[in-house]
Amino acid sequence: MKRGIVVIPTYNEAENLPLIVPEVLAQDERLEILVVDDDSPDGTGKIADDLAESTGRVHVLHRPVKEGLGPAYRAGLRKALDLGADFVIQMDADFSHPPAILKELIVELETHDVVLGSRYLNGITVVNWPIERILISYFGNWYARKVTGLPIADSTGGLRCVRRELLEKMGFERIKANGYAFQIEMNYRFVRCKARIKEVPFFFLDRTRGTSKLTLSIGLEALWIVWWLRIADAFGRL
């Protein structure tokens, strides 16, 4: 693997971004970062621009409005490929995805097409979530597997490392989902492409700075998108 770009979508992550960027860049000299900011009112975009100037390994994609995780990732993945990435990593800005795991993802990508960070591969490795949120997430993954048949323990997770060739093959720009259901649909399309998939367990740490972007509408989208995927696939509409 030659050159990797870590796509980090942001909205009001001014506290986290200056901390996570140097940690990510320290993991591998081949890594660069693409910050996809949805016009954060707290100045995250300006911080990203300053980091780009000071490090030389950070790119910034400014989007005019907040549209959700899916549109941000679709735009970010397209930009990363346009920048010449050989592989792309998706991760959050809030340290729930520990930067140290990136080394393992990159090693595993040598023999796989996509490597997923998993919270549920070896039991439940989630730290500092209230029990009700853990149960909703865990059984949400069970529900997604039952409806779609996905052979993935953590289909809603947002930490992944993907070869350029797979991103180009899967047609990520056709992904319909906008919220966290984006993660389910992306994994579903990986499986349809017969990708070599590897899950790597990690400890998911709840954020200590900033606020979660999870809303009721995002959760509801994940409930119906799995049925849409199953039906659309059956009728050749994906």
Torsion of CA 103, 34, 204, 134, to 10 degrees: -150
In the structure encoding, which two tokens stand for residue 88, read together?
Answer: 């792309």
Q: Which tens digits make up the pLDDT trace of 5-49?
A: 999 999 999 999 999 999 999 999 999 999 999 999 999 999 999
Write the DSSP assignment of 113-167 as a string of letters: SEEEEESSTTS--EES--HHHHHHHHHHHHHHHHHH----S-TT---EEEEHHHH
- Looking at residue 179, its pLDDT comes to 79
Residue 73's SS3 state is helix
Q: What is the pTM of this model?
A: 0.93
- Looking at residue 222, its pLDDT comes to 74
Q: Which domains, ranges and CATH numbers included, belong to the chain?
A: 4-234 (3.90.550.10)
- Looking at residue 159, its pLDDT comes to 97
- Looking at residue 128, its pLDDT comes to 86
Distance CA 167, CA 203 (A): 26
- Looking at residue 76, its pLDDT comes to 98
Contact 139, 182 (CB under 8 A): no
- Looking at residue 219, its pLDDT comes to 62
The rounded average pLDDT for each run of 10 residues, N- to C-terminus, in the chain (238 residues) is 93 97 98 98 98 98 93 97 98 96 98 98 91 88 93 94 97 89 94 97 81 59 87 89
